[in-house]
Structure 1
């Protein structure tokens, strides 16, 4: 039932062996090197102890070693659990994987286009990368030159045993890759697991797509840092952000923030207060009426009725309240020059809420207001040189929403 060959290490106890086992219903082959207990087992896998046949270990193939291992394919590699009965079909027949990738490309394109229509950022670069992958995975190589034509009723099968395959003499075309791709595909689940860490890195794009849900669960934190933009888009069922404990902070540290709703907008504090603060101006408007708080003044204007009711109404002299606005961190963009100035009196008193005009190199003139410490916002430019600073008279201050200079006297 068993035949083979076993060699002996020169001057040592190691060996190499080749075993062929033709036992009924248990055909197998083993190539074994004692160095690292390295083995290739094919067929009906059992324990092999010398010339003794042991218990069942599995069926199929096993490549194992106690040392290192590597699997290399310079022109491309395909890992699959899709069925190919009787060793039929081409070596790189990845048709099922290709169909899944084409479905992914269509899904990414559809959602990307929809997101862009709703002012979210498109996934164009990821889509282009996926399109290129599908193109690289859908090629053939070989030649049909001189290969006989198929006879009536014959079906061509790469690597099959039909009469046509025999007559073809190894000629024909077969699937391959345009690039040295590594593709893994399965009709069931694919899983990776480790008690330590998992690392994924792409020098260019990482595209995730699924026909149903993407679920993320973390025992501690979910942290994401990106160098450019973040865009999240939900097409049909809305978006929710909850914190069971701790506060939620949203900051636009160098630009504006917009909150817009087609229907109503509700802001509620269930146990404390709602605060609104602005260094320059607060404007509330609806139906042509407005309340403006600007530079220590309050304007209440309406095209219709102003209705004030209360058991007691008090109108007295001036009063004010200092409010400390949060200071946001400022990071200097790579490759840019930065400059910040502070306005003070000759006695060292900061000049708060003073309008200044700054002439920025290659950007032109811009209006800024000093903060409570007299600081002018930090200026960034890709050109060296100081920006020229000029005080803007009160009568030339531009109210919020105006597109040109108009009178606005400071009290």
Structure 2
């Protein structure tokens, strides 16, 4: 018998309990041992459930019970989750979590504690919900040198952009619909400003390249400035707009990492990832591009990934799974401003011709885009071969000439 405790009985926590109770026989067969939930930590009361007698409000009860071998943390947020998880690892208990903020900000420290104590700290559900991605990178693709990872890592923003593309809904209307359907929180900033996707690409970068990447070191841009005019220009260009998290290993040994909206060509596998689905492309030197696709969130998909990690923990009580990365190091993140980029730019001037004339004067050469639904005095064009700093300087030069820069969206090569 393997006794576990679950910290949190919210959406994911209740899903974990549901999966464990409805799939008991098959889980026992796979784990080769029965898994029993002894405690559930939550400040609320949940009477009338089959496992209501398992609830406790005192974390110390869980921490001091020697029978508890695995703790499942599904509370979310950094505190008190970090303090609880650290205490569990320091007191001989392996931990499974779905908490992307925790792993992105404290992963190196917690993995080191787990290693010192010959324990497991597993987090498959922290990226992609029910999509297997952590295990494939660390095991199935282990023979490859992973050179790049890019993906649609947030279902809320992908749903909003899909509605804007397919149904010509404004950003505000699409966000309101996402909130109504339960895809977006009442406070959606973590999603629409790119923070959620940033945490996930940090975890993937840390895992793939072996050095911790902190979210506050990553250039992050959300989708709040995207308009239907931008959607129209993307269509004319030959693609769609997606919020992409990407990381690439450079020859210098540094990584180039960012989260931002991008034009993605229709021929890309990522272009067809719509609604609340996620798509993650891993580029390896032996396999080429491998894409993982599925629902990136949700009660049962995420719970499924959590329970899979619990089973893995049970099977590796005496044989620790190797999952590790080093603490961050200086100058590991490449200077963002020095990176080459291609971009779409939308501007406004006295007339479209005046805007194009000014753009060509500043950039030397631009590729004009002719909107299907032209807006008077606005123009769209693409540029390439510039560094991020050079692009910003030229956009500032346009502003000095009386041309308003309405938006700038990078162009992907995925």
Same fold (TM over 0.5): no
Higher-Rg member (1/2): 1
- Give the structure with the higher percent helix: 2
TM-score, length-scaled by structure 1: 0.20
| Structure with more relative contact order (C-alpha pairs < 8 Å, separation 6 or more) | 2
TM-score by length of 2: 0.19
